[in-house]
Amino acid sequence: MMSGVHLDGVSKTFGSRTAVRRLDLTVGDGEFFSLLGPSGCGKTSTLRMIAGFDAPTSGRIRIGANDVTFLPPHRRDVNTVFQSYALFEHLDVFGNVAFGLKRRGAPRKEIIQRVGRMLELVGLLGEARARPHTLSGGQKQRVALARALVNRPSVLLLDEPLSALDLQLRQRMRLELKEIQREVGCTFVFVTHDQDEALALSDRLAVLRAGTLAQTGTPEDIYERPADAFVAGFIGVSNVMAGRYAGGRLTLPGGLSFPVPGRPGLGEGARVSASVRPEKIRLGDFEPGMVRVRGTVRESVYGGASTTYLVEVAPGVELSVLEQNADRSRREKRWSGGESVELGWRPEHCLLLDGDA
């Protein structure tokens, strides 16, 4: 049976330090939900309270309809997968996955069937008799997943389970993890500091900042419509520029001024930030109505499929611009620095945000 997770006004303090502050959060049944934020933002503390490893200082935690605020971990219908895998080296793969079922006294026939099904799901049926020390990092992670899922928890908690893997393996495991979640259908709560990982895996995600909730939404909502300058700067790469709003224009401290879309309730002279994603900025081929500014290329970083330019558009104001190399047909070579260029973006791609850059 699937169950959602509900946090109502949850706070956690350690002495004089507040790790989580009055957090209200709902994770839907069968949802792949990520907790994302920088180090020290409270995401692991939140996960540990859901798991029952730590009790909240205040607030309530429910799994489905059950209040589990002060229940010990073994009385909650949750399992946790850690970054360290925590496999038993003296047991083979089958024994590691079967461990929880044996402790619960499950019949031998049921153990064989359920462990076999789970090893098949994670692609390790052929490694059932292998010992952990013979496995790759990705295989160990799949064993840890199988061991957690074989008990059929309502909620699976994952604490940065892919961070110890190399880049290519981590990218492959993202796809496998999402497929496994869809197959088993239980609720996943996933902690990560990796923005790309959260965007790729999540049905919805929450961005935490200093123990508080900055924004919750789908990956598209968070990326395309960030709530404030912190979210815009933390999710992906964004050009966040702080200035003053007046007369339908944003004026930056260096003197650069350009038109921006208005926002209800925004007064003249208000201090705001504007955000434009690097991939939304064009270098030439402008459309009518685009905002256009001039600048000087200060840096060029070749990335294979694309090139990132750092362009100074005003004293102390530099914009990151992402150009697909396939689109560079009008130039024989990429810029390397010192060139005067013109940038443009559509007005709707410039978002006004609360907070400074």
pLDDT score recorded for residue 222: 95
Contacts of 218 (CB under 8 A, 6+ apart): 202, 203, 204, 205
pLDDT score recorded for residue 214: 95
| Domains contained in the chain, CATH given | 5-224 (3.40.50.300), 237-353 (2.40.50.100)
- pTM, full prediction: 0.87
pLDDT score recorded for residue 113: 94
pLDDT score recorded for residue 57: 97
pLDDT score recorded for residue 189: 96
Sheet of strand 5-14, all strands in order from the earlier edge strand to the far edge: 17-27, 5-14, 58-63, 66-67
pLDDT score recorded for residue 357: 47
The answer to whether 187 and 29 have CB atoms below 8 angstroms apart is yes
pLDDT in 10s for each residue of the chain, 357 residues = 457 999 999 999 999 999 999 999 999 999 999 999 999 999 999 999 999 999 999 999 999 999 999 999 989 999 999 878 789 999 999 999 999 899 889 999 999 999 999 999 888 999 999 999 999 888 898 899 899 999 889 999 999 888 877 888 788 888 888 888 888 889 999 999 889 899 999 999 999 999 999 999 999 999 999 988 899 989 988 898 888 988 889 999 878 899 888 777 788 888 888 899 999 999 888 999 999 999 999 999 988 889 999 999 988 889 999 998 876 655 667 788 889 999 999 999 998 887 654
